[in-house]
Amino acid sequence: MKKILIIITAIVLFSACTKERTTGEIKEEIKEYNEKIKELQTKLSESDTIDITGKVVNVRVQEASFKKTTHSFTITGGVQAEQFAYVTPEMNGRIKKIFVKEGVSVRKGQLLASLNSNVIKSTIAEVETGLELAKTVYLKQKKLWEQKVGKEIDYLQAKNNKESLDAKLQTLNAQLEMSEIKAPFSGIVDEIYLKEGEMASPGKQLIDLVNINNLEVEAYASEKYISSLVKGGAVTISFPAYPDIKVESVIDRTGNIINLANRTFKIKVKFKNIGNKIKPNMLADILLSDYEGNNITVPSLIIKNDRKGEYIFVAKKINGKMKAQKIYIKTGLHTGELTIIENGVKSGDNIIVEGYNTVKNGTLIEF
């Protein structure tokens, strides 16, 4: 290319030296030479992309057709138990008895531990005795009052005394019930923090109780997926600790707030823990799909680039001979090892998928 330009320049200079010409004539000649240079540049450019060797290359082709296409991606989250509780007493007291051991399964409402309740029981007995007398006095005063005998104030005092002791007894029974620590749901006693004889109080951890039959994965997805990830969308859960276990489920809920720090939103997926192998706080990978449609796809490896854009080679019969033809394409999503072709390829085209690195535009091929 440089040699051609040098020759043309030399011709122009030689012509200018051997003849006397007007400025207009020289400009006209320069214009003609510039047009010839452009023509030569075009031919050189075409010769770079057109194979004129005549050599036949063996290739393999794949017929383009519309197929169901999905685009998936994976995010990592943590496993959580739907039911997990730090069981604590509702009142202060010394632990009298612990009825369970770590690792055992318990039913909802089962007694886990009890606190010393001797004082409450004694008070209950005392109030019950007083209540019996109060009821007797109340009934007699009521009968007299109904017969218009006696004072109204005596009747009202007897009634108030009976109702007061009744309410006090209910309070004491509630306190007695609070001294018994029961399982809020069915599950497994994972850890016991206190021992018999030690003091327990509200808010102080006594027992960890967990139900691992029903678990959920909590993860965070980029906000660019917020329009495509919706409640009920199908997902596949896998676990690095158990590569052979895969669970099919659906999105239970999506968060309504975007995290300002990393531009993500929360998703939760619930699943049944078959075999109870999966444990809370384990890592889990969630495979999600954000696109599904019918598209023409090609292997991503065969797509090439030049200054005009992305292109591939197709097999086409030209003048009775099968040749490789270079076509420019517009690509879409990448689905694993495949890329969706949005424009440039039509159904039925024979796409060269093997031997694409050994052909040029116009190469003779066979398959």
What pLDDT is stored for residue 274 in this prediction?
85
- Report the percentage of the chain scoring pLDDT > 90: 60
Per the model's pLDDT, the better-predicted residue between 183 and 29 turns out to be 183
> What does the pLDDT read at residue 10?
47
Contact 314, 330 (CB under 8 A): no
- At 320 the three-state DSSP class reads coil
Confidence of residue 1 (pLDDT cuts 50, 70, 90): very low
CATH, residue 171 = 2.40.50.100
User: pLDDT tens digit string along 124-145?
Assistant: 888 888 888 889 888 888 888 8
- What's the pLDDT at 155? 84
pLDDT band at 153 (very low <50, low <70, confident <90, very high): confident
- In sequence order, the β-bridge partners of residue 76 are 285
At 7 the pLDDT is 46
94 & 143 share domain: yes
**Of the candidates 249, 271, 335, 245, the residue with the CA atom closest to the CA atom of residue 297:** 335
Residue 87 contacts residue 112 (beta carbons within 8 Å): yes
**In this structure, is residue 20 part of a structural domain?**
yes
CATH of the domain at 286: 2.40.30.170
| 205 within domain boundaries | no
**pLDDT for residue 47 is more than 70:** no
Q: Pick the residue with more confidence: 7 or 228?
A: 228
Residues 54 and 26 in one domain: no
Q: What is the pLDDT of residues 190-221, one digit of tens each?
A: 999 999 999 999 989 999 999 999 999 999 99
Q: Do 323 and 266 share a domain, yes or no?
A: no
Residue 48 has pLDDT above 90, yes or no: no
pLDDT above 70 for 35:
yes
157: left (phi over 0), alpha (psi -120 to 50) or beta: alpha
**Is 104 found in the same domain as 242?**
no
Which of 245, 277, 292 lies at the terminal end of a domain, its last residue? 292
Spell out a b/e string for 300-333, using b for 16 or more CB atoms within 10 Å of the CB, else e: eebbeeeeeeebbbbbeeeeeebbbbbeebebbb
pLDDT for 343-355, tens place per residue?
999 999 999 999 9
| 206 domain residue, yes or no | no
Find the domain containing 322 and state its range: 49-67+294-366
Shared domain check, 218 and 77: yes
> Do residue 152 and residue 220 come from a single domain?
no
Quote the percentage of the chain above a pLDDT of 70: 88
Residue 314, pLDDT score: 95
Give the per-residue pLDDT at 119. 85
- pLDDT (average), residues 42-70: 76
Give the domain-ending residue among 244, 272, 292.
Answer: 292
> Quick check: 265 pLDDT over 80?
yes
Model confidence at 6, pLDDT cuts 50, 70, 90, reads very low
Neighbours of 190 (CB within 10 A): 16
Q: Give me the mean pLDDT over the 253-264 stretch.
A: 95
Q: Which domain CATH number covers 355?
A: 2.40.420.20
Last residue of a domain, one of 173, 200, 227: 200
Residues 215 and 284 in one domain: yes
Domain count, the chain: 4
